[in-house]
Structure 1
């Protein structure tokens, strides 16, 4: 059975780093393969994320300039992996937010605030690819690793088109109710590098 694996990078990265993993192209490549069962063949892995924000902004307390210049080269490295394609959204800077709430009554400094970024266009790209894959003759299953309920319309379309929808669930996580309702199977996986049984389905 030929499958496509769709990975929501923003969602996956936060959980993998929280569990102490180094999040890099090799880790992501291994993740795509570990969610595929022995009865399945990986046709393509699609990865969705944003280039790091670049630009200069003013810090919230001092007013001094803060430059963001982190490289997004790792996404290009990932796109060169076998069977991988990368879909890039846009990361928008939305200002600064307090690191702790409620905000302390003492004198505040720039260190009390963290930059607030928002991904734009990622869920739309997931939906478009899911629709395209389900309308073609090659993919029989889609494995989706995401917890974004905006994917539900595309999931419903895929199932109506006859493609089986598998929801990949990271360790110690529970999928959103809406996503579980509109998938054919839920498949809990372990992070790459840890012993795990292959999914039987």
Structure 2
């Protein structure tokens, strides 16, 4: 069989978000566990794409690219908890840096890191903001100037009901769901550039992308026009039907656990240094 080189590109943010839905918690609650899952997934993909059942599976790999962003290291004062927060010391930042350090030591793994910018101040989720805005007309009906001059505040039953609804809406806004406006930059651009570079330099025969959105379509079109096979692994997430015309195949490198036996297969595969046999992709 003619050897074919495989380039694997992993959207790290998407991968880390989907992983807890696919593997037991002990596989994704530490940087070491996540790195093991990445290795198992990549090994399984290479085995499926090349047909080679061998321990030195990296021989068929051009490179494994992991795309993510350097954690935000700034600080900000939380408006509800009334305390400063150092984002560079958060559990998320510590986890990401530890994972990056582990991946840097892996054979044929390359990190492509964007950055995280602060684009806006603290804000609750949009749906809760919309609920609060709906109370504006009631608040405008209160004569607070009269109260300030010594008049008593008397509420009608309707106003009292509105006041209770207003309190309930504010109670829904907790410190946990008020977030600073941080946004990842440069990751999608790096994925697109690497697809184009790998394609035009003929560095791989197959590009396998682990991602969940369609931002890669222009780069995928270029790869396919130049004769590179383009495979997508959406980690069992459903994709739009029209996306199939822009890829050469859909496959999974991790099993979708449906039973204790499927979970045990993942654990046994890692212990034996073998890839688990994946199921055929299906919609959520």
Q: TM-score range by the shorter chain?
A: 0.7 to 0.9
Higher strand proportion (structure 1 or 2): 1
Q: For each residue in 1:13-64, what CA deviation from the matched residue of structure 2 results, as whole angstroms up to 9, or x when unmatched?
A: 1010244441532322222222223452222111101122111112133543
Contact 2:252 2:279 in 1 (8 A): no
Q: For each residue in 1:140-199, what CA deviation from the matched residue of structure 2 results, as whole angstroms up to 9, or x when unmatched?
A: 11001112322111111111111010011313x212445432101111332592642488
Candidates 209, 229, 250, aligned match of 1:186: 250
Structure 2 equivalent of residue 78 of structure 1: 103
Structure 1 equivalent of residue 79 of structure 2: 60
Cα distance change, pair 34–64 in 1 and its aligned pair in 2 (3 A): same
* 1:149 aligned counterpart, secondary structure: coil
Structure 1 length-normalised TM: 0.84
In structure 2, C-alpha distance between the alignment counterparts of 1:55 and 1:155, rounded to whole Å: 36
Structure 2 length-normalised TM: 0.62
Contact 2:252 2:278 in 1 (8 A): no
Structure 2 equivalent of residue 143 of structure 1: 208
- Over aligned residue pairs, what C-alpha RMSD do you find? 2.6
Contact 1:44 1:83 in 2 (8 A): yes
Q: CA deviation at 1:126?
A: 0.3
Structure 1 equivalent of residue 113 of structure 2: 88
In structure 2, C-alpha distance between the alignment counterparts of 1:32 and 1:39, rounded to whole Å: 11
Q: CA deviation at 1:90?
A: 0.7
Structure 2 equivalent of residue 36 of structure 1: 46
Contact 1:149 1:178 in 2 (8 A): no
> Would you say 1:160 and 2:225 are equivalent positions?
yes
In structure 1, C-alpha distance between the alignment counterparts of 2:70 and 2:191, rounded to whole Å: 16
